[in-house]
Amino acid sequence: MKKLPIPFVLLLMALTACSSVPRANSLNEKDPPETVEITYHIQMGREQELQAVLNRAWAIYNAEHLVIPQSHALVTSREYGNRPRIVETFTWVSHSAPDHASKAISDVWNQIQDLCEPRAGHDGVEMIELNGAAPKR
């Protein structure tokens, strides 16, 4: 059996600790979870495309440990002359989680913007924070 030198093992442990990503079940009182509601005003005929992009976004958020997995809900509806919209609700693991988006997430956000349109004085994509709505852990 090959033995590793203690300094090398300690270095590996330190590097691993520094590279770890915060998990959804870690609680940081200085940067608490943030529940958001996002309304997507979808261009006519682009509903399935947007749904696919939102599914990909959710998979990336989960893979990067940015969201609380059980916090996700999507509601589809019609508005303003039977135009499509989706309202999505979920909880980021912290307020700062979306502020440090990876390139993959930024690319998905750009795709979402391209599939939505301003409507009745509203932006194509609108996000609000739902205060006090973070799920219990």
Q: What is the distance between the alpha carbons of residues 135 and 54, in angstroms, rounded to a whole number?
A: 21
Kindly state the average pLDDT of the residues 108-135: 91
pLDDT confidence of 131, banded at 50, 70, 90?
confident
Q: What is the pLDDT of residues 9-53, one digit of tens each?
A: 333 343 333 334 444 445 567 899 999 999 999 999 999 999 999
Q: CA triplet 50, 56, 61: central angle to 5 degrees?
A: 120
Shortest CA distance to 116 belongs to which of 61, 51, 72?
51
Does 135 reside within a domain? no
Does 89 reside within a domain? yes
Kindly state the average pLDDT of the residues 59-81: 95
Region class of 19: left (phi > 0), else alpha (psi between -120 and 50), else beta: alpha
Does 104 reside within a domain? yes
- Indicate the average pLDDT of the chain: 83
Domain that holds residue 35: 28-129
CATH code, domain carrying 108: 3.30.70.100
Does 77 reside within a domain? yes
Amino acid at 119: R
Does 134 reside within a domain? no
Does 96 reside within a domain? yes
Does 2 reside within a domain? no
Q: CA triplet 66, 23, 10: central angle to 5 degrees?
A: 125
Q: Between residues 131 and 28, which one has the greater pLDDT? A: 131
Structure tokens that stand for 41 in this block? 């005003």
> How far out from the chain centre does Cα 134 lie?
14
Backbone dihedral angles phi then psi of residue 33, each to the nearest 5 degrees: -60, 155
Does 136 reside within a domain? no
Domain count within the chain: 1
95: Cβ contacts below 8 Å, ≥ 6 apart = 31, 32, 33, 34
This prediction has a pTM of 0.76
**What residues are paired with 67 via a beta bridge?**
92
